[in-house]
Amino acid sequence: MTETIGPAAVVRSPAPRGRMTVAEYEGLIESGVIDERAPVELIEGRIVGKMTKGRRHSRARINSRRAIERVLPAGWHLAVEVPVRLPTRDSLPEPDLYIARGEADDYEDHDPGPADVALVVEVSDSSLAADRALAGTYLGAGVPAYWLVNIPDRILEIYTHAGRDDLAEGDSAEVVLEGSVVGRIAVADLLPRRPK
């Protein structure tokens, strides 16, 4: 039976039951069981549908991308909706943004993992609970920092192994790569413009 989410076919045959590894998930994509264009990702061993992005979400993602690119030093690049391989958490998420070492072409034959990724950024409007839960997935896999751009509350939630810190719209966040602060970003620069 074929299940669909939006215009793309997700699964062309019954999906495996129970928790799935990253390798098993990648095998289903390579074999064509899961269409590589399907709006799904693997989170904690489960295939989940990706949320449709609204205008505020899209604006905040563009703003966040621009703000981060302004402070990004040489030797690092910013990826947009590209998989991060987290095998210890049975996850292959596609976050809104992440900073990884090197150039994008360095990952032509593999997806970056926790040793390569310094910061994951998720923009959240209508899916705050699910996006907050992802902090445990990323940090548990060894990613050092996870930012949640919280559109409804107009704050930046910063998750690290030391805990959670919320920054207000008037605050600035430090971008830390390999233990060094490489720049500061105003939280307001990550958010969409306030409604008129």
- Rounded distance between C-alpha atoms, residue 46 and residue 128, angstroms: 19
Domain assignment present for residue 194? The answer is: no
| Structural domains in the chain (count) | 2
Residues 60 and 33 in one domain: no
Cα 128–chain centre separation = 13
Whole-prediction pTM: 0.88
Domain assignment present for residue 118? The answer is: yes
pLDDT by residue, tens only, the chain of 196 residues: 333 333 333 333 344 457 899 999 999 999 999 998 899 999 999 999 988 888 999 999 999 999 999 999 999 999 999 999 999 999 999 999 999 999 999 999 999 999 999 999 999 998 999 999 999 999 999 999 999 999 999 999 999 999 999 999 999 999 999 999 999 999 999 999 887 7
- Mention every residue, 6+ apart, whose C-beta is less than 8 A from residue 191: 60, 63, 149, 151, 154, 169
Contact between residue 93 and residue 124 where contact means Cβ atoms under 8 Å apart: no
Residues 13 and 90 in one domain: no
Residues 67 and 29 in one domain: no
Residues 35 and 97 in one domain: no
Nearest CA to 111 among 41, 46, 168, 63? 41
Q: Domain of residue 27: give its range.
A: 3-49
